[in-house]
Structure formats: structure tokens, C-alpha cells
Chains A and B, each alone.
Chain A
Amino acid sequence: MIGNIVGVLFDGVAYGSLLFIIAVGLSVTLGLMNFVNLAHGAFAMLGGYVCVMMMTRLGVPFLAALPAAFISAAVVGVVLERTLYQRLYRATHLDQVLFSIGIVFMSIAITTYFFGASQQPVTLPAYLRGQVHFLGIDFGVYRSFLIVVVAALTVALQYIIERTRFGSQVRASVDNATAAAGLGINVNRVFALTFALGSGLAGLGGGLGIDVLGLDPTFPLKYMVYFLLVVSVGGTGTIKGPLFAALILGVFDVAGKYYLPQVGGFVIYALMVILLIAFPAGLYGPRV
């Protein structure tokens, strides 16, 4: 019984950390540019497909395919940001929502056209498969790997945001873009770089998540709510807000599906509505 609970918690944390790594970029986009980007999952899907194609068609090992997923998503992200997204920073939320739904639909159609509608298989390398037996409980090796990777990335992100020059420029622009520009910060460049970083992380998360989340053309639509939820519950402008929200979400979702399978996704949607009503501005910080 205890083993069960620990197992569910562990799976939930692994799931939540994946959600975090994909959604953290969205939190920056929303906090920095005040842009409601429903198409964020499309970048994760891109990373996932890059990963799968490199492994199956080119025989690249899994760990080497992950950086490629990051880079390709970041490049596509920065191109789209410069050509399309930046034109809509001042638009209404409705326009942004419509625009990004359009991107989602197009990404689904294009992916279906090239790769078909079926789930993409992934074969993890042998050293990431199987279970580790520890204190009488089985832990999945891959999920432990996920948690370690995400923990390392979180520390790195926290360092970048809190300690580097670039990080302070980002924080300044989030707080007040006009004043930041007045102080000589090239806000457009900060926007483009953070967008690239956020898309890249989503792509990396997409690649890491194939085994856990699955990968098919409807990915951006299927997980859209989860990413948005991480951001709207976690608030914007911090790293710990979305992290905390993603972990809560991951644990509740896994626990809900494990203990109450007949209710299914209902738990998570109910939780979302309750949290949003209770904390309209997110768990941390006044900004949304």
C-alpha cells in the first residue's frame, strides 16, 4: 500500500517535471510578452518528431537526438517569433488565441501529411529501460532519468534567470518592458532569445516525453490544457511557480487515473477550475 503511494507519487513527479520543462517557456512568453500562445505544444511536438526521425531514419542514439530536438525547436521558434508572433504582441488576447489555434491546426495537418496519424514508437536505449529495486519498491529507470534531467535544467534555469546579465534583462523586461527599453535594454532581442529558449525547452521536453506522453499529430491539442494550466496556476515571472504547479498537476493526474480510473481526466479539470477560482492570479505573484 505504502509502496503503491510512493510509486504513484514518483510517477506523478516524473510526469509533472516533464510538463514543467515543456510549459516553462510558455510561462515566459506569457509573462514577458503577455502573449497567450496556445500553440506552445506544437514546439514540443516538433522536438518529439525530430527526435524520433533522427533515431529511426538516421540511427542517431537517443541522448544525441535530444540536443537536436532542442535546437530545431529553438530555431523554428525564433523564426516564427520574428516573422509572425512579434506582430501580435500588442494585439488583443482574442487575436492571439485565434492566431495560435491556427498554428496548432496547421501543425497537426502538416504532421499528419508527412508522418501519418499514428503514434510514433520510441525505443529507449537499454540502460534507460527497466526498473531499479530500492527499499522494496520498483522505480522506473527512465522516470528517474527524467527527474534528474529536469532537476538539473531547473537549477540551470534558476541560475540563468537570477544570476546572469541576460537573466536580469529578462526580469526587467517582464516587470516593465517600457522602462527596461528606456534603460537601454534591447527588449526585442530579449524577447526573441527567451522565445527561442522557451521553444527549445519545449522541444527538448517533447523529445524526452515520447515514452511518457506519447507522440501523434494531435499532441498540441491533447496537452494544450495541461501547459496552459501549469502557467495559469503557477503564475508568470518565476521558475518555482510553474514548477510547483506542474508537480501538483502531475501527481494529481497520475493519482486520479490510478485510483479513480472511472472518473478519468475529470479530476484534473475540476482541480483546474477550483485553483483558478481560488487563485485568479496564480499561486505565486500578483501577475497573470
Chain B
Amino acid sequence: MATPAALDAQNASVPRGRLPDARWTALEIAFWLIPIACFFLLPNYRVLASQILITALFAVSLDLILGYAGIVSLGHAAFFGIGGYTAGLLAVHGWHEPISGLVAAAAVATLAGYLVSFLVVRGGDLTRLMVTLGIGLMLWEAANKASSITGGVDGLSGVTIDPILGLWKFDIGGRTAFIYAFVVVFIVFLLIRRLVNSPFGLSLRGIREGGKRMPAIGAPVPRRLRTIFTIGAAVAGIAGALLAQTTQFVGIDTLGFPRSAELLIMLVLGGTGRLYGGLVGAAIFMVAQDYLSGINPVYWQLWIGLFLVVIVLFARGGILGGLDKVRARFSGRKATR
């Protein structure tokens, strides 16, 4: 994950004599035009496209804590599920307004993330891994056993959502759902983008690269980690709520370990610690899943496993990391490893 090469590669894309700044590049603008183009050109895939957008946001939320702060989490789906169930339960019990439901889900996930962050910041990698895994499993088990509230393994159905702002009704073709998901994902992404380019975001990278040295320059490491973990949980909660509202259903698998593992895979596939890695990874993963698991679900698991092994052994940095290396080579500067 946190190789100095990744940072070098990032810096390599900045022209000399200019500090890295948060200006929008043409590439970024082009990237965000892709989903809009999909909306108009591939109307039959709007449902898949909105799920990709939501998953991409979820992946970015993991990138905040893993890619930027270096906390390995195996239970990030817990917050996704909390957000989903909050939004879903509100809608089932009579609160059908979508935007306030989204805010409520974010609030609950934030609170949960804040509480968990105290446990996670303690200890080394292995303890963090186990604690996040354990909390994820606990929530799954709780949702499974409390089937009178959550619907158990059958999932929570009967989620009805009012038209957005009283104007746009959710339709079968997924038109409203797509626009809603796109707008929310984009706004949250803007905030995250601002955050990681702020001094706070830079201090997180400092912690990732050298956690022992950061206190020496006055950075309160545990507090920074708690903050970003809470923010990551909040964003995951928003993503979960979006999925619940747009699909009008909450499955128990939103809380499960496989969901956390898949998320990790997407992020690593795209490249960690670079904001767009999660977006690219989620898009490629979900399109591949849609295509390959249609052929045979067993093969899909084999491919994904093989793929992970190959990525770890030969292609650390993921797709975007690989592209950066290629670009660095073409611009005459050898990419350092």
C-alpha cells in the first residue's frame, strides 16, 4: 500500500516549480463526464451504473482510512450496513423523505464510527484487523438474529421512498435513482477531495508514511486517526443509505465479511491512496462481476482470487499505479520502485 513510490508517482504528475494543488485537471473532468455519458447512451444499464456509483463512493470511504491513513480494516461493510439499515428502517416505519433519511443514516454511521474508532486506533495491524473483523461479524450476527426488526437473511423489504424534494418520483427504469445517486456521490466526493488536499489530509499521509515521526512535529496521531475513521464510517453510511433508497431493499449481505473483502479488492484493483483508485476499481470490478458471474459464479470467485494474488505479487499500486508508471516512463522520468 503505502509505498513511497505511490507518492513519487503522484508528485511526478505535478509540473516542476508548482506545489501540488487541488486544481481540477482535464482528466478529472473527463472522468466525471463518463457516468453522465453512460446515462444518456446506455439507458438500459442505469441500474447497474447507479450501483457502481454507490459502490465507488463506498470504496472511496475505505480509501480514506486505508489508503490515506493506513488503517487496515476488514469490517468496513459494518458502516455501509448501518447506513443502509437506518435509511431502510426509517422508510419502513413511515419516514419516507429521502434526503433527511440520508442525513439520519450518515449521523448514525458517524456515531458508530466514532465509537469504534477508539477501539481501532489502539494496537497494531493485527489487532486492528481482528477488531474490525469482529465488529463486522457481531453486527451481521445481530442483524441475523433480530429478524423481527431487520428481516434477517430475507432482508428488509417494503422500503418506500417519497419523490425527491417532492418533485421526482423513483421510477422502474432507474432514471431518478441514477441522478439522485450521481448528485449525492459527486457532492460527497467534492468534500472528500477537498479534505485530502487539506493540511489535515497531508498529515494523514505523514502518519501513514512514518507514524512514529509525526508526533515529533506536533501531530496528534491517535486523534487524527479517530477523526478520519469516523469520516470514513460516515461516508460508508451515506453509500449504504443510497443503496437502500435506490434499490428499496436492504439485504443482510450489506453487513457481511464478503462485502468488506470485495471492497478491499476493488480499492486495491484501482490503487490505494489516490482518490480515483476506488472509483476506477469499483467500476471495473462491478462490470467484470456483472459479465463473468453471469457465466458461472464459481469461476468468478476463482478469477477474483487469482487476480488478487497476481496484483499483490506483481502489480502493487493497482491500475492507476500502473498507469502512473507508464506515464512516468513516457515523460522520460524513470518511475522509482
Contact = CB atoms under 8 A, between A and B. Distances in A.
Interface of A: 30, 36, 84, 87-88, 91-95, 97-99, 101-110, 112-113, 221, 225, 228-229, 232, 262-266, 269-270, 272-273, 276-277, 280, 288
Contacts of B257: 221
Contact of B138 (A93, A105, A113, A269): A269
A98 B311 contact: yes
Interface string B179-220: 000000000000000000000000000000000000000000
16 contacts: A92-B1, A95-B316, A97-B72, A97-B264, A105-B304, A108-B301, A232-B126, A232-B130, A263-B145, A266-B138, A269-B137, A269-B141, A273-B134, A273-B135, A288-B123, A288-B124
Contacts of B305: 101-109
B275 interface: no
Contact of B131 (A87, A94, A108, A277): A277
B337 to A, nearest CB: 13
A101 B123 CA distance: 22
A280 B301 contact: no
A270 B94 CA distance: 33
A210 B168 CA distance: 56
A39 B236 CA distance: 27
Size range of the chain B interface in the assembly: 35 or more
A280 B122 contact: yes
A126 to B, nearest CB: 37
Contacts of A103: 305, 309
Sort A-B residue pairs by CB-CB distance and give the 6 closest, nearest first. A102-B308, A105-B305, A106-B305, A109-B302, A93-B125, A280-B123
Contacts, number: 126
A264 B144 contact: yes
Given A102-B309, A106-B306, A262-B145, A97 B137 contact: no
* Majority secondary structure, B binding face: helix
A237 to B, nearest CB: 14
Nearest to B122: A280
B125 A99 contact: no
Nearest to B257: A221
* Majority secondary structure, A binding face: helix
Q: Which of B137, B299, B305 has the most CB of A within 10 A?
A: B305
Contact of B130 (A92, A101, A228, A266): A228
Nearest to A109: B302
Contacts of B30: none
A266 B143 CA distance: 11
Contacts of A102: 304-309, 312
Contact of A99 (B66, B135, B309): B309
A105 B301 contact: yes
B74 A97 contact: yes
A267 to B, nearest CB: 9
A265 B133 CA distance: 14
Contacts of B134: 225, 269, 272-273, 276
Contacts of A264: 141, 144-145
